[in-house]
Amino acid sequence: MPLQVVVQALRQDVRKQIDEIGGDMAKAATEAMRAVGESVKQRARFDIAQAGFSTKWQNALRLKHFPENGHSIDPAAFIYHKIPYAGVFEYGPTTITAKGRYMWVPIAENLPARAGLHRITPAFYEKNFGKLQFVQRPGKPPLLFAKAARGGRRPRGAGGQSLFGKTPGFGPKPLFFGVRLVKVRDRFHIKEIADAGMAELGAQYFARIKPNG
């Protein structure tokens, strides 16, 4: 057997072993990353729930794996939140200042948060239901009251009650109060949870890698 053929055959055999070892390593690394990513996602969603946020906020935290299919020696997990301003609750404290004169905050007991798919803002309310009355209060936040409903339509609360009940001294119920700035503190701990997950990655990998021999 010519020497060149023998050497070539040995090279192919070594390459096959390397490919097999590399394949095992890539599989172990990818499975470990996916396990850690899923764990981080579940713990992060629980953290959001503990902060008092709704199921919608919890489910808006998403996980994407790279690669999506197959295995890689260098996998990754990308944790992100679909609500664009969610970061203020992770990286606070921060101060949000009104773009106009006031930011109008809905009064939960007097106004449903949404009308179908639409969040109820003063502009949305006036377009769909009727005019709002501005009331300045010395030393207190100003209010917006419902004046009248357009076309006989009256927005309803969660229990079906009218939003136009009586309030002593004025008439219709206040629907919004105005603020010039809002201080938001950090309420999520997603980065700490992700760091803890990364610390577990080595153990997850070695639990999956095939022993030599």
pLDDT in tens, 7-47: 444 456 655 665 677 788 889 999 999 999 999 999 999 99
Angle between helices 190-199 and 3-50 (to 10 degrees): 150
Cα R_g (the chain), whole angstroms:
29
**How confident is the model at residue 155, as a pLDDT?**
52
Q: Is cis: bond before 2, omega within 30 of 0?
A: no
**How confident is the model at residue 130, as a pLDDT?**
82
What is the spatial distance between Cα 121 and Cα 144, in angstroms, rounded to a whole number? 11
What is the spatial distance between Cα 171 and Cα 150, in angstroms, rounded to a whole number? 17
- Reference 163, options 102, 117, 115, 127; nearest CA is 115
CA dihedral 181, 183, 189, 194 (to 10 degrees): 50
**How confident is the model at residue 43, as a pLDDT?**
96
What is the spatial distance between Cα 173 and Cα 170, in angstroms, rounded to a whole number? 8
Residue located via tokens 């239901």? 129
| Residue ranges in the chain whose pLDDT is less than 50 | 1-10, 150-153, 157-171, 213
